[in-house]
Structure 1
Amino acid sequence: MTLFSVEGKTVVVTGGSRGIGRMIAAGFVRAGATVYISSRKAAEAEKTAAELGCVAVPADLSTEDGAAALVEAVSARESRLDVLVNNAGATWGAPLEEYPEAAFDKLWGINVKGVFGLTRRFLPLLRAAATPGDPARVINVGSVDGIRVPAMETYAYSATKAAVHMLTRHLAQRLAADSITVNAIAPGPFESKMMAFALNDPATRSAIESHVPLGRIGTPEDMAGTAIFLASRAGAYLTGTVIPVDGGITAHG
């Protein structure tokens, strides 16, 4: 196995039908992994799976039944899981005086509880894949907005993504003895449905790019490359890390 190879590994990517999840899933497929993607919308999941050459498992991961259905579907076909990518998430923006408490309930459920619950449910398959020299990997998708204060009024989003980063560290400490690493990727601006409202407007896009030290929006290769690194032999000795993939935004201040 070469240093950055993930060939032959089994990978689950939640929220894999579009945006960052699709970027990661596509990267793993091209690198020779067997990939399962989940999405709340069955039609989107099936369409993406057909385009990428992976397996779709429609599931609403904000519910316990949805998480259980995903684990059961993968367990029916696989005896081990090498990589779990917890990418499914949501955001909510509104002015402070109008910000609903329901936003915190919804985003806590999918962004934090969803990550915790699915990781716990997949532990038997992750443990089956894990060895000291080649640990099983959990990769959580956080956000630069969980590291620095965002310009937009997305209070529940930034709070829950900060929680994802701490949950990553806590799980990493607990699961190290099982040869399971847990790391997080904190993306900056990438092409996604979550960012479309801003990036589809040329003036807003230019303003966002101007605040990125490297001067551009992230590409699918930037995102997939980081996930593949964490899942390969090259990333086997990392656990409990939060890696900003943001063109230098968080380093810049």
Structure 2
Amino acid sequence: MTASTKEVALVVGASRGIGRQIAIDLAKAGYAVVVSSKSTSDPSSTSTSTTPFPPDPNSTASTITTVEREIREAGNMATALRVDTRDYASIQALVSQTMATYGRLDVLVYNSGAIWWAPVAQTPMSRFQLMQRVNIEGLYGVLQACLPHFKKADDGEEYRGRIVVVSPPIYSRFFRGKTAYAVGKVGMSVLTKGLAMDFRREGKTRMAISSLWPATGVQSAATTTTLNLGREEDACDLRTAHIFSDAVLGVLRSEAEEVNGELLVDEDFLRAKGVRDFDKYSLVPGSRPRRILPRSFPDLRVEEQDDEGRRVDSTVLRKSKL
């Protein structure tokens, strides 16, 4: 194992769309990037007369193999490592391989996701279970495997690192018509809030976890294929994945206390950082994509927010009974 002189970013769900763009832009920004997802391809077949390179970034032809090659051909550093986020052993192997390759971990972006928008009665149990395993359980597993490695490289003691989760602000309208999907995605945001509290309580002031969600539709495999927004008449309501990637980089460049535990929206966050030109992100030049999120969100804090009462720690209780 050779420790990387570059900061290392692990992007889970990086084969297409938003995840691919995040990986490419992190590499441009100087990170060594581990590009991870389930989809791989034969490197020898990524550029033929019938398979153009780079492939359509929102198609199944785009895999972690092709994304790794895109990054490397641009002169940057990347390694493609396969993972099945439904399998904790696969997640553990991914993180072990990351550490064996680079010797450090500085950034985690969790973009992996399964999607099905339908009422509860039209959402089969198998589909519900798939979404929970990929969305909330997958995120939890990746966090469990990664957290021990967010340590200062030279002395291994001071925790520092950044985590960005692709999950939404918490508000009731989000549940409408897609409750089964919302269960997992909102759960991911709850995990962001809770882990941020852990960081504060444990004095890990250089650690931060944030959630990020798009204000408008963003061109991706999910929107153009799964949600059937790939039609020409829908294109005016989509932005390119660059807006989301720019917001991720902005979060990573912010002070930890500013973004820790925040449920952010890409446009709103960038606007607060001084971005004024959002026309450059429109998929169709000159169009103004419709905002699909509310302008403001409920404040989840309560008056007794800082009163922990008698806090119970199950790990301590278990040790006391041994």
Q: Which of the five TM-score ranges fits, normalised by the shorter chain?
A: 0.7 to 0.9
Candidates 162, 165, 174, aligned match of 1:140:
165
Q: Secondary structure at the match of 1:149?
A: helix
Q: When the two structures are superposed, what TM-score results if normalisation uses the length of structure 1?
A: 0.83
Match of 2:251 among 226, 230, 235: 230
Q: Alpha carbon RMSD of aligned pairs, Å?
A: 2.5
Which residue number corresponds to residue 75 of structure 1? 99
Matched, 1:239 2:260: yes
Q: Which of 134-143 and 185-194 deviates more?
A: 134-143
| Runs of 5+ unmatched residues, structure 2 | 42-62, 73-77, 269-290, 297-322
Deviates more, 1:110-119 or 1:86-95: 86-95
1:175 corresponds, among 191, 194, 199, to 199
**Which deviates the most, 96-105 or 20-29?**
96-105
Q: Matches of residues 142-221 of structure 1 in structure 2 within 5 Å? A: 142-143=167-168, 147=171, 149-150=173-174, 153-176=177-200, 177-178=203-204, 179-188=206-215, 189-197=217-225, 198-206=228-236, 209=237, 217-221=238-242
Cα drift, residue 226 of structure 1:
1.2
Match of 1:51 in 2: 70
SS state at 1:91 partner: coil
Distance 1:12 1:239, change over 3 A: same
Larger-Rg structure: 2
Report the 3-state secondary structure (helix = DSSP H, G, I; strand = E; otherwise coil) of the residue aligned with 2:213.
strand
Kindly state the Cα deviation for residue 171 of structure 1 after the two structures are TM-superposed: 0.6
Partner of 2:90: 66
Kept in 2: contact 1:14–1:21 (CA 8 A): yes
Q: Offset of 1:152 from its aligned partner?
A: 7.8
Distance 1:41 1:18 in 2: 9
Give the Cα separation in 2 of the matches to 1:113 and 1:107. 9
Letter in 1 for 2:214: P
Q: Which amino acid aligns with 2:210?
A: N
- Structure 1's unaligned 5+ residue stretches are 1-6, 210-216
Alignment partner, residue 214 of structure 1: none
- How far off its partner does 1:153 sit? 3.6
**CA offset digits 1:139-170 (Å, max 9, x no partner):** 111136x5453598433222211111111000
Q: How many residues align?
A: 235
Higher RCO structure, 1 or 2 (CA under 8 Å, sep 6+)? 1
Cα pair 2:212 2:266 within 8 Å, conserved: yes
Structure richer in helix, relative to its length: 1
* CA distances 1:15-72 after superposition (whole Å, capped 9, x unpaired): 1111111111111011111101111012121111101222100111111121011111
C-alpha distance in 2, partners of 1:175/1:236?
11
What are the Cα deviations for residues 58-93 of structure 1, in whole angstroms up to 9, with x where unaligned? Answer: 111111121011111101122221101111111013
Once residues 151 and 193 of structure 1 are traced to their aligned partners in structure 2, the CA distance between those partners, rounded to angstroms, is 22
Deviations 1:94-149 (A, max 9, x none): 454332122221111110011111111111211335998x93101111136x5453
Amino acid at match of 1:91: I
Question: Partners of 1:124 and 1:70 in 2: how far apart?
Answer: 14
Deviation track 1:159-204 (CA, whole Å, cap 9, x = no partner) reads: 2111111110001111232331111111241111110133311234
Q: Offset at 1:223?
A: 1.2
Find 1:11's aligned residue among 9, 13, 19: 9
Give the secondary-structure state (helix, strand or coil) at the position aligned to 2:65.
helix
Distance (Å, rounded) in 2 between the aligned partners of 1:148 and 1:109: 23
With 88-97 and 158-167 compared, the bigger mean Cα shift is at: 88-97
User: Structure 1 residues 49-58 or 87-96, which shifts more?
Assistant: 87-96
Q: 1:219 to 1:166 in 2, by over 3 A?
A: same
Distance in structure 2 (CA, Å) of the matches to 1:155 and 1:201:
25
2:18 counterpart (17, 20, 29): 20
8 A Cα contact 1:24 1:227, kept in partner: yes
Shift in CA distance, 249/153, structure 1 to aligned 2, threshold 3 Å: closer
